[in-house]
Structure 1
Amino acid sequence: MRRRLLLISMPLLAVLFLAISVPAASAIAGRRTAHLVNDRTNDAARFSAAALDELADGDMRRLGAEFDHYAELFDTPLWLLDRERTLLYSADGTPPTAQGDRLLDGVLSGQTTSFGATVWPWGPDTITLAAPAGRDSQVIAAIVMEVPTGAVRTATWRDWGILAAALTAFMAVALYLLWPMSRWLLRPVAHLAHSADAVARGDLRSRAVADAGPPELRGLSQTFNRMVDTVATTLERQQQFVTDASHQLRNPLASARIAVENLRPYLDGGAEAELAYRDALADMDRMSALVGGLLTASSLQAAPVRASSVAQLLERRAQRWRVECAERDVTLVVDVADAEVIEPSGGLAMVLGELLGNALRLAAPQRIELRGRVSEAGRYTLTVADDGVGLSGEEHQLATGRFWRSPRVQNLPGTGLGLNIVAQVVTDVGGRLTLRETPGGGLTVVLDLPLADS
């Protein structure tokens, strides 16, 4: 985000550079031009006054010598012409330029002329100025001068260079300050994004830094922290309620079971009484298992998530799982590639243990395969495939529902919460649990988990 902010700021700084440099450069060129024109116009006015005196005396020698000295000193050709445009003086004997002829029309009629253009570093090379000798209808002659602009253009280039250096230094300082300023601006955003990601993974202890950055972002961080506090408090109360209710139910259930067991000596010995007795005990066991499942779900929701190595986790658990499978004459194949993954609440070992336990208890398989690979999408895929009885296509969609049990296993121990809890904790960390049929028969459970570096 900081890089994008800098990329956005660069064009803005470039526009600012142009907005300052273009008017400033134009003003510099205009100031240099005005200074040159004013100086040469003053010189022309002085020569005009001298020309009136010289023309009245009829002696042009002193004025001609002054014209020659001026032309040599400033490299500026001068011409003196009367009202009939007769050339009275020229340093090199040539007539004025075409631009000078155009200016004579206004000057000889008593009008004042001015140079309205700007001398830029690339041109023009010369400018033409004209001044009348006399006033209004008393104009008897005119002076025309061709002023070179080389010195002005050089000075303008130099001033532009100084301007460019100053603006470049200013922009460099602005860019230098923009980096720490953007870091100051965006540090709360980074903390907020990190905290939001942690909360999304289930870590409700994470909080955004609310004492850094501009006031608006500090306020946003404080609002986020209050929201997380509210969510955490609500979840904590819900979990505490479930835990308390489960604990409170355990004692009455245990007392009820003991009371039912104590009724055994008083049965009349008939088959119907024995069946009712066993049904009552089975109902008590199912209710106890249900309460235990609620406690398990509550504890798993409260457990933080973490990143762990798949190979290290399975290395510690695989041997015990093989023993459990061997006791039921089931072959367990474990083939996983190592990777760091985000573990669901309660741990990945708990999730896999629940899936393996379901397969052993409900599917009556001969072989179970546990495989794990990093997918092309940058995720980690774990599959638990058995060759047992499996489920139908419709049951694949129902199996992750709360309290759902297949009609074929209603008489087996279980609460219908295990797979639902597993699906929930996997989803909470950004993963996904799906069911599909194993080729050749059986059930395959697919876990799609995010990698730790994602």
Structure 2
Amino acid sequence: MTRRLLLSYLGLAILVLAGLEIPLGWIYARGEMTRASQGVERDASMLAEITEENIEEGNLEALPEVVGDYATRTGRHVVVTDRQGVVLADSDPSGRIGVSIAAAPDIARALRNEPTVVTGDEVLSATMPGSSGTTVRGSLRLTSPTAEVDSRVRRIWGALALAGACVLAAVALAAFTLARWITRPLRTLEAATAQLADGRLTNPPDTTTGPPELRSLAVSFTRTATRLQQLLMAQQAFASEASHQLKTPLTALRLRLENFEPYLDPRAHGSLEEAVDEVERLSRMVQGLLALARLENSATTPEPVDLDTVIADRAAMWEPLAAEQYVALAITGRAAGRVWAIPGALEQIIDNLVANALRVSPPGTTVTIHRAPGTGLHVIDQGPGMTEADRARAFDRFWRSSDSQHDGTGLGLPIVRHLVQASGGDITLHPAPGTGLDAAVRLRPVTGDRSREASGRPRSRPARSAAP
């Protein structure tokens, strides 16, 4: 932002300088050219009077001396003719004396007692008649190069450019100081926002410098961030304490229910088992809620993880349980390589998806973990699948399908989605070929540069395991 402010100030200064200096330079150049033209015209009139007197007196030998002396002093070119346009004197030694130039337009006009002044790109020319009243005795042409005028104009343009450069330098220094003063609160606010996004504000934004509006914004941000930190710490404290406070009562309730079994009528044993199952489900739900709260409250940074290694490890862990349910567990697809994921997230993602797949898979079917091109991960089962409406709501907390026959908590997929999104990926549900459900996870691949960059980062706190 400092650069943009500086460029805007400099751009405005350049426009102002251009609006002032260009007209000033143009006016000066026009003035110089006008003064030079008037000087040539004045000198030509004066010389014409002198030469006319010499011609009238018949003193033609004095003409070369007059024009030569003037040309030596001024560096200009003078030509004198008689009334027929024949050259009587020329300040140029190589001039052709005695040659008629009456056909030249300016000489012809002068011989008709009409002066001519011409302002050209390279020379200024003034042709005057040598006359007394209406009697024309000759003409005089005076030409002057514009090099001297052009030199003076270039000098003034250079002076204006130098002055403009000095003004721009002063404006740049003042603009840089002003821009730094304006943007300092924004820089500290940006750093504070990044800290808050990482979970803790250690350096509040500066509230003592900058414009009043930005100081007020920094004060409001600090107050909001402090309140938010207090709420987050309270929630984290609740999640930590609740995990201990709720475990004990639920465990005691389960033990009491199991102790009732010897004293109950056999016909009530079914209801007792259902009550124990509900207590277990409530315990898992509490654990899932606490795990989800911990995930949402912890700021983690994705790190490179070998997807193939994690898949192989988790598949080996789930194979015995799948075999007990007469369900095969298969890994397909080409090696995916390394992906970006928060620490511990891939294990939980695969565990939750495989657990859900095994829960709905009938005996004799296969749960497939497929590695797709582009660091995609698919967990495919051959269960009953989901309708389109169910797939749209599957990531809602506590949601369970109306025809669900299992004892899930409705928190497994929300936890998976949070882990995937925190890792910079996305997850979608699709119908599997034939029957069943395809849970498709897409994660970001690790490139060489980013991998080296991440190797220097401190490891973040791993995400804790959550019950499906």
TM-score normalised to the size of structure 2?
A: 0.67
Partner SS for 2:337 = coil
Q: Does residue 300 of the first structure (1) align with residue 295 of the second (2)?
A: yes
Q: Is this contact kept in 1: 2:254–2:279, CA < 8 A?
A: yes
Shift of 1:94: 2.9
Secondary structure of 2:349's match? helix
CA deviation string 1:348-385 (max 9, x = no partner): 2211221112222332464333233453xxxx422112
What 5-or-longer segments of structure 2 have no aligned partner?
Answer: 90-96, 451-468
- Distance verdict in 2 for CA 1:48–1:436, change over 3 Å: same
| Among candidates 353, 360, 367, match of residue 362 of structure 1 | 360
Q: Distance in 1 between matches of 2:18 and 2:167?
A: 11
Residue 295 of structure 1 deviates from its aligned partner by 0.6
For structure 1, which segment, 281-290 or 19-28, has the greater mean C-alpha deviation from structure 2 after superposition? 19-28
- In the TM superposition, 1:210-359 aligns within 5 A as 215=210, 231-241=228-238, 243-245=240-242, 247-267=244-264, 269-271=265-267, 273-311=268-306, 314-315=308-309, 318-329=312-323, 330-333=328-331, 335=333, 336-343=335-342, 347-359=345-357
Q: How does 1:49-448 map to 2 (within 5 A)?
A: 50=50, 58-61=57-60, 63-70=62-69, 73=72, 74-79=75-80, 90-91=88-89, 92=97, 93-95=100-102, 97-99=104-106, 123-128=121-126, 130=128, 144-149=140-145, 151-152=147-148, 155=151, 159=155, 203-205=198-200, 215=210, 231-241=228-238, 243-245=240-242, 247-267=244-264, 269-271=265-267, 273-311=268-306, 314-315=308-309, 318-329=312-323, 330-333=328-331, 335=333, 336-343=335-342, 347-364=345-362, 366-373=365-372, 375=374, 380-407=375-402, 409-410=404-405, 412-448=406-442
**What is the distance in 2 between the residues matched to 1:146 and 1:396?**
99
Partner of 2:464: none
2:37 match:
37
Q: 1:316 to 1:431 in 2, by over 3 A?
A: closer
* Aligned residues of 1:208 and 1:221 also touching (Cα < 8 A): no
Distance 1:449 1:7 in 2: 41
Kindly provide the CA deviation profile for residues 8-39 of structure 1, in whole angstroms up to 9, marking residues without a partner as x: 99999997897688557645744653453354
Q: Distance in 1 between matches of 2:42 and 2:412?
A: 103
> Are the equivalent residues in 2 in contact too, given 1:387–1:441 (CA < 8 A)?
yes
Identity across aligned pairs (percent)?
Answer: 24
Q: Which amino acid aligns with 2:250?
A: L
Contact 1:44 1:131 in 2 (8 A): no
Give the CA deviation at 1:393: 3.6
Number of residue pairs matched by the alignment? 425
Say which is worse superposed, 383-392 or 9-18, in terms of deviation: 9-18
Q: Quick one: structure 1 residues 386 and 280, their matched pair in 2 at CA, closer, same or farther if it must change by over 3 Å? A: closer
* Between 389-398 and 15-24, the greater mean CA deviation after superposition: 15-24
CA distance in structure 1 between the partners assigned to 2:317 and 2:43 by the alignment:
114
The question of whether the paired residues in 2 share the 8 Å contact of 1:131 and 1:144 is answered with yes
Give CA deviations for 1:281-306 in whole Å, capped at 9, x if unaligned: 23322222221111111111123332
Separation of aligned partners in 1, 2:373 and 2:11 = 42
Give the counterpart letter for 2:356 in structure 1: N
Do the aligned partners of 2:257 and 2:272 also contact (CA within 8 Å) in 1? yes
- Cα RMSD over matched residues? 5.4
From the superposition, tell whether residues 142 and 94 of structure 1 become closer, same or farther in structure 2 (CA, over 3 Å): closer
Q: Structure 1-normalised TM-score?
A: 0.68
